[in-house]
Amino acid sequence: MAKRLKTAVIGTGFMGRVHLEMLRRVENVDVVAVVGRQLASAQKMAAGYGAEALDDYGKLLEDSTLDAVHICTPNATHYSIVNDAFRAGKHVLCEKPLTVSVVEARELVDLAQKTGLRNCLCNNLRYYPMVQQMRRMIEAGEIGEVLIAQGTYSQDWMLYPTDWNWRVDANVSGPSRAMADIGSHWFDMIEHLTGLRVQSLCADLQIFHPTRKRPKRSVETFTGKLPSAEDVEDTPVTTEDFGAVIFRLGDRARGSMTASQVSAGRKNGFTFEIFGSKSGVSWNQERPDELWIGHRNDPNQIIVKDPSLLKDGARSYADLPGGHSEGYDDTFKQVFRRFYRSVLEPGSAAEYPQFSDGLRQMTILQAELDSYRTRGWVNVEKYIAQPVLEGHSELRGRR
């Protein structure tokens, strides 16, 4: 019988709850504890699944039978929790962004390398079945040489000056908001899919609401849309609502992207198109089971997700038959399954994003912030002071 693994979720917000529920779907893994700053929140989340509730992750890490932890806390806390978890010998799956600075990210990558522990950054969006289909198509040369990558990640939950969430607070969330929260998904995806690296970029950012109304109690991510009467206070905002970037990708390809939290009507509008010398692909997270393939001399194609139509490397990401939709939650299951399989099989390849990918994302983010400040093109490479350790990431592994 397979060994069963013990894990725990730290963080009781939107992401913490998703991790917990999706961990329940993974075979041979038991969630033994949930940790929250407030014990009541942890108890509420843990109760139904027979897990223990804690308000101190330190105690959790003392449990020598625990194999791994999921870190779903605000961005600025990742660095120290990951540090502590690694030092306690736990495998770590951390929500993105990995840290709030390149320096911190590099330290965590080094630490992961030294400890030899499994480390996963939760860029779950890579694992929609149709995304993996694109990846395998590009890898197989089906679109030819990559020429163009463009798109946007647009949401509207921060449209009004009355919208507030901990992510607006730079002390908790770091110096970037739209680019860090969702723009980082966009770049991670493009580099993952094309196997190319962003070489240089020119970015523009905008804070449309330099002041927002902050409620005096905390507001869960995405839930602020439902109105509620409460005390608010005018609070200056230092992180961007919107960013636009043009960039050079690999030696010849060109790109363009925007990220926005103030685009009315776009709920989770992560879209991109990648055009190559033979054909193009396009995808939209709001219709995740569809993949558009563009051709010049043949009709365009639309794949509605169907395992029998997917390439070998993509098929294992589709658990349901043709036309039976797989959603956002299901991408977490795909990541978690592969993460725990790698924990069980030391030496096996890491088929998921790793901390080195998180460092890469922080590097691009830093380049964006600097490009905006200096109002000019910047070379991404110059932010990579020390070469990232090779051999780790699924992304790099593909180059």
Instruction: State the minimum distance, in angstroms, from the CB of residue 230 to a second copy.
Output: 16
In the bound state with a second copy, the residue whose beta carbon lies nearer, of 313 and 397, is 313
Q: CB nearer to a second copy: give 84 or 273.
A: 273
Residue 288 backbone dihedrals phi, psi, to 5 degrees: -65, -20
Which lies closer to a second copy via its Cβ, residue 60 or residue 143?
143
Strands 211-215, 68-71: pairing is unpaired
DSSP for 167-211 reads GG-HHHH-S-SHIIIIIHHHHHHHHHHH---EEEEEEEEE-S-SE
- Least separation, in Å, of the C-beta of 17 and a second copy? 9
Which is nearer to a second copy, 195 or 294 (by Cβ)? 294
Per the CB < 8 A criterion, the answer to whether 97 and 361 are in contact is yes
Asked if 11 and 41 count as a contact pair (C-beta separation under 8 A), the reply is no
CA 174 from centroid of its chain's CA atoms: 16
Min dist CB 338 to a second copy, Å, is: 14
Q: Please say which residue, 75 or 261, places its beta carbon nearer to a second copy.
A: 261
Task: State in angstroms the smallest separation of the CB of 236 from a second copy.
Answer: 17
**What is the nearest approach in angstroms of a second copy to the Cβ of residue 15?**
11
Q: How far is the CB of 260 from a second copy (least distance, A)?
A: 6
**Dmax over Cα atoms in the chain, in whole Å?**
63
Complex with a second copy: residue 21 or 55, whichever CB lies closer = 21
Q: Cβ 199 to a second copy, closest distance in Å?
A: 12
Looking at the Cβ atoms of 215 and 397, the one nearer to a second copy is 215
Taking the CB of residue 161, how many other CB atoms lie within 10 A of it? 15
DSSP state of 48: T
5's enclosing H/E stretch is: strand 5-10
Instruction: Name the minimum Å distance from CB 126 to a second copy.
Output: 15
Please give the helix or strand (H or E) that residue 110 lies within, else none.
helix 102-115
Nearer Cβ to a second copy, position 15 or 100? Answer: 15
Q: What is the DSSP letter of 148?
A: E
Are the C-beta atoms of 304 and 289 separated by less than 8 Å? yes
57/157 with CB nearer a second copy: 157
Q: What are phi and psi of 215, to 5 degrees?
A: -70, 150
Closest approach, Cβ 33 to a second copy, in A, equals 16
Query: Which residues neighbour 173 within 8 Å (Cβ) at sequence distance 6 or greater?
Result: 74, 75, 76, 100, 166, 167, 180, 181, 239
- Half-sphere exposure of residue 144: CA atoms within 13 angstroms, side-chain side: 14
Supply the DSSP symbol for 277: S
**What are 327's two structure tokens?**
């959603």
